[in-house]
Each structure stands twice: as structure tokens, then as C-alpha cells.
Amino acid sequence: MKKVFLKIAFFAFCGFLIFADPAFDRFDEYEEIGFFLFLPNSSDRLVNEDHAIIQLDNLAKYLAGMNLTFARIYVIGYAAAALNDIKPADLSRDRALFIINKLQNHGLPYYLFSESVGLGEVDFWGDNTTEEERSPNRRVRILIKFDNIGGEVTIHEILAYDDPGRPSGFPWKIFLIPVFITILTAILLFFLKRRKSSISDSERHKETPHTKTTHIKGSNFMNLEKTIRETISGIPSDAYFDVHTVIEKLLQEHDDVYLMNVGHYTSAAQYHSKISAIIAETGLVDKIGNSFSKNIHDKFSECHLFKRKA
């Protein structure tokens, strides 16, 4: 099972790479040119709105005069940690969209903006334990990358670019999530089925002749007489043994040969009598008499006793 979980972990890591949003970096290569603070649990109410309106207008004029190329203004939203039912990621994204819409209302074209980003409860300013410390964490940052300033924007680029301030198209990443889960589930079921099959094969080797008479293929010992002769050759000279000893050795070391031939006889007693006759005909033993010993059914019964020739 260890290999199974390692493979699942590998595919989970691949899924993380697929669904990870590249916007979740720390934007170290960008220059922050302004930020706005929001009221608690709000995505459309700014702290000191009168001052914020003036700040938005000044920021829009500043950006308009920078000759930016398309999709070069990055708006990132955040949220302070709070105990409520509002999802921080959604709240922070809504805040970023609000600022984008406001800047567009102040004259900036939509194609200058990259897709809005909501980072939720990350990158706190301060300990975020008091209201005074939580307030600056309800922010939206506006960033640009200065080495992208300048250049001409073609009409094809504008038409091909989606407005981050309006609803996006089909959410293909959401469609990929169930596909990814289905693949992981199929892989897990496949390896569990293989493990179960392996266990079943092991258990089949332990079945008695009454419950297992077929399905044995590819044996290295296709000849029962040859296998019995090899088994007797392994018994020390002058040692006494009976049929039950040979049968037990066959089951332990050559169960494929034993089970492959059992189907040719109507009962286990008939099959064991045939094994006894083969032992006597090998020329490797002397028949001494009878023995009373435990058989494969864990019961005592009478059988032929032999002595290994020197």
C-alpha cells in the first residue's frame, strides 16, 4: 500500500500545480502605487469614503498618464482574520473587483487591468489581534510593473483580453476538479483491486483438494511421479515415513502439482491410494507395513509405512 499512497501523493502534487494560482506569489517584482482600506466585512464601503474618492480620482489620472500597456495594473485584495461565515478569499476578491470598477469609472480602460486577485487572510500587517491591527489588513493594493510601461496596444490585443471587472467565461478549472478527483479515485480502486486479487491468489493455495480441483496452470512439475520421486530423494536413508508425510511435503513445496492432479480422482482417499502406489513403485523405498498418523484433514488415519533405502 505504500507505493499506492506515494503515487496518489504524486498525482495530488500534480493537481496542486494545475490548480495553483500564479497570482499567489508575493508580487516582489511589482511596484505598489497605492492602497485602499475597507470597513469590516464589507466589499463596497471604504474607510473615509470622501478621502477615498479623491484618492481614486488622483490615482486614475496618474495611471492614465503612464502610457501603460494592456493588463499591467494588478489589484490584490486582502481580508483580516475574523470569526464569521464570510469566506476571506471571496471577500478579498470582491474588494479587488470593487476598486477595479471604481478606477474604470474614473476613465481607465478595462484592458489595462490584470485579473483581480483575492489573497484572503495572508501577509498580515501587525499581529491582527486587535481592531486597530486588523484595520490595515482589510486592504486592496494597486501594483504595476515599471518595465512593462510603454508600447502600443493593438486592437486585437484589446478584443482578445477579458475584462476582469465583469463576469468571466466558463470556469474551466471547476470542470477539471471532478475530472482530477475521478482519476485519483480510479487509481486508488485499481491498486486496491490488485491487492485484493493478490490476497485471493494466496488464499487459493491454502484450499483443500475438495474445494480446489482446477485453475492450476503453468506448473514446473507437470509429472506427479517425477515430483514424488524427487520428494522421496530428499528423505534421509533408512528413515521411516508414511504416505501422509509425502502428501504434506507435496502440499508445502509442490501444491501446484498436487492440486493439478487431484481432479482426476473421485475422492481424496482414491487420490492418496494412487500416491501410495507411486511411492512403492519408485524403487527408492521398502514397504514395511501400516502406519497410523495425522492426515491433511487433521485427523488420524491408517496408511502405508515405508523405509527409505540406503
Query: What are 119-157's pLDDT values in tens digits?
Result: 888 877 777 778 888 888 889 999 887 654 555 544 444
Grid coordinates representing 240 are 521411516
Encode 39-77: b = buried (16+ Cβ within 10 Å), e = exposed: eeeebeebbeeeebeeebeebbeebeeeebebbbbbbbb
Size of the chain, expressed as the number of residues it contains = 310
Ranges for all domains in the chain classified under CATH 3.30.1330.60: 2-169
pLDDT of residue 63: 87
| 228 within 8 A of 280, measured Cβ to Cβ | no
> For the segment 68-126, what is each residue's pLDDT rounded down to a tens digit?
776 788 899 998 877 777 888 889 999 999 999 999 998 888 888 888 888 888 877 77
Of 54, 68, 62, which Cα lies nearest the Cα of 33? 62
CATH architecture of 224-308: Orthogonal Bundle (1.10)
Domain 2-169 architecture: 2-Layer Sandwich (3.30)
Residue 113, sorted as left (phi over 0), alpha (psi -120 to 50) or beta, turns out to be beta
Give Cβ neighbours of residue 158 (< 8 Å, ≥ 6 apart): 70, 109, 111
Strands 240-242 and 139-144: what pairing?
unpaired
Residue type, 193: K
What is the pLDDT, as a whole number, of residue 77? Answer: 92
Tell me which residue of 72, 147, 138, 134 sits closest to 103, measured CA to CA.
Answer: 72
**How many CB atoms are located within 10 Å of the residue 279 CB?**
23
- Residue 155 and residue 211: Cα distance in Å, rounded? 79
Mean pLDDT for all residues in the chain: 76
**Rg (Cα) of the chain, in Å, rounded?**
40
pLDDT in the model for residue 199: 61
Domain with CATH 1.10.10 in the chain: 224-308
Provide the pLDDT for residue 202. Answer: 55
| Regions in the chain scoring below 70 on pLDDT | 1-29, 70, 146-176, 196-222
pLDDT score for 145: 72
C-alpha cell belonging to residue 256: 501446484
